[in-house]
Amino acid sequence: MEENDQEQYLPEDLLGLHSSEAARALAADRRDYALRRLVDWYRRQGAFADRAVMEPSRFRVVDDVPEGANPFSREEALEWLERERVNLLGMVRLASESGWHVDVIALCDGPLWASQEQNEHYSDTLVALQAAIESAAEIADPVAEARMRSLRGQLLMECGELVEAHEECAQAVAVAERAEHRRVLASALEVQGKVLHARGEFAEAVGNFERARRLGEEPGLPHAMREYLMGKSLSCLGRHDEALEAFRTALGRIAEIPGDQRASAWIAVAAARVHQALGQHEQAIPALREAISATRARQALVELAEELELLADSLAATGRPGARDCLEEALAIYEQVQSPSAERVLGKLGTSEGTSGGGELA
C-alpha cells in the first residue's frame, strides 16, 4: 500500500484490479479491454466534471468535449472530483504504465487540474504532472509538454519552491517557443511571470505579461487574469496609475463572465491595496466591502480574513467605526486555521484600544 498526502491509501495496483482473482482469471486481451474501458470512463466523466467546475473555454491541450448533456451541477462535480481524486490519480498511473500517453495528459490537464484548483493536494498533483510531462515527451508533443511544465511550475511556486519553479517554467517557455504555438507560449510566459513576481523580479514579470499580451488577447477570464497579474507587478514597482488602469481593464473583462465572483474579488482587493498605498482609503473601502461580500458567499476563510484586515486599515485611517470588529473577525479566522498572521492582527488590536468598535460588520 502507498500513502498519499491526504493520509489515504492507494492500492498498489488500481482499485485492486491487477491483483484481484477476477483480473487474473481474465485473458490478457480481456483484461486490457476492461482497463481501457475504465480509463475511458474516468476520462469522460472527468471531462464533464472539469467543465462543470471550470470555465468550459479555458485552455486545454487535450480538449475532451464529451457527447451528451453534462450530468453534473457545479456542486455535484466538486463532490465527484474530491471523492474520485484518488482513483483519478490511479488512472494516471495506470495509463502511464500502459503507454496511453494522451490519457495521462488529458486526465492531468482536465479533472485533476480542476480538482487541484478547488482543493489543494500538492504532492499528488506534482507527481501526476511529472508523469504527464514524460508522456508528452514520449509522444513528441511539445504543446502538451509546455503546458504540463507550466502547470507544474505554478504548483512549485505555490509551494514556495521558487528555484525549481523557475527552472520548470524556463523549460516550459523554451519548449513552447520551439512549438511555435501562440496560446501555449502566452500561457507559459504568464506562469513564468508569476514566478518572477514571487521572486521579487517585478520588472521582468511585467515584461513577461506584456509579451504574453502581444501574442494575442484571449476572451474573458484569461485576458482579465493577465491584466490583473500585470497590475500587481506594476504596483510593486510603484507604477500605481498604470496598475489601476490594468485592474480597471481586468474588471471590465470579468464583467463579461456571469457569476465569476472569485476573480473579481481578487482584482478589487488588488486595486484597493493600490488605493491604500496612495492614501486613497475612501476609494479602497467600497472595493473591499464588495470583495468581502463575495468572499463570504464562497466561504474562502483565509481570503476573507485578509480582506477584513485590509478594510480595518482603511476604516481606521478614515476614522470610521468598525475597524476593531473587522480585526476581531480576522483574528478568529487566522486562529482557526492556525495562521501566523494571527500575531500581526493581535498587534493591530493592541494599538486600536480606545477606538470605536461599533458600526456594522463588513
pLDDT reading at 11 higher than 70? no
The DSSP line for 47-98 is HHHHHHHS-TTS--SS----SS-----HHHHHHHHHHTHHHHHHHHHHHHHH
Structural element, H or E, at residue 354: none
Which among 141, 139, 111, 136 is positioned nearest to 124, based on CA atoms? 111
The label of the residue with cell 481570503 reads 303
C-alpha cell of residue 48: 464533464
Residue 284 · residue 275 · CB < 8 Å: yes
What's the average model confidence in pLDDT over 247-274? 87
Bridge partners of 9, per DSSP, are 3
Give the pLDDT confidence of 276-291 residue by residue, as tens digits: 999 999 999 999 999 9
What's the average model confidence in pLDDT over 196-220? 89
Residue 81 · residue 118 · CB < 8 Å: yes
Amino acid 76 reads E
* Number of continuous H segments (helices) and E segments (strands) in the chain: 18, 2
Q: How far apart, in whole angstroms, are the C-alpha atoms of residue 25 and residue 84?
A: 27
Under the banding of pLDDT at 50, 70 and 90, the label for residue 259 is low
C-alpha cell of residue 117: 484548483
What's the average model confidence in pLDDT over 247-257? 86
pLDDT at 64: 78
Burial of 301 from C-beta contacts in 10 A (0-12 / 13-18 / 19+): middle
Give the pLDDT confidence of 293-328 residue by residue, as tens digits: 999 988 888 899 999 999 999 999 999 999 999 999
Under the banding of pLDDT at 50, 70 and 90, the label for residue 21 is low
What's the average model confidence in pLDDT over 89-104? 97
Burial of 248 from C-beta contacts in 10 A (0-12 / 13-18 / 19+): middle
pLDDT at 56: 77
Q: Rg (Cα) of the chain, in Å, rounded?
A: 23
C-alpha cell of residue 246: 490594468
Under the banding of pLDDT at 50, 70 and 90, the label for residue 337 is confident
> Phi and psi at residue 201, in whole multiples of 5°?
-95, 70
pLDDT reading at 20 higher than 70? no
The CA distances from residue 277 to 292, 307, 346, in Å, are: 19, 15, 22
What's the average model confidence in pLDDT over 257-266? 80
pLDDT at 1: 41
pLDDT reading at 357 higher than 80? no
What's the average model confidence in pLDDT over 229-249? 96
pLDDT reading at 219 higher than 70? no
Amino acid 128 reads A
What is this structure's pTM?
0.81
pLDDT at 164: 98
Give the pLDDT confidence of 123-175 residue by residue, as tens digits: 999 999 999 999 999 999 999 999 999 999 999 999 999 999 999 999 999 99
Q: How many CB atoms lie within 10 A of CB 182?
A: 13
The DSSP line for 121-173 is -HHHHHHHHHHHHHHHHHTT-HHHHHHHHHHHHHHHHHTT-HHHHHHHHHHHH
Average pLDDT along the chain: 88
Amino acid 323 reads A
Domain chopping of the chain, boundaries: 1-140
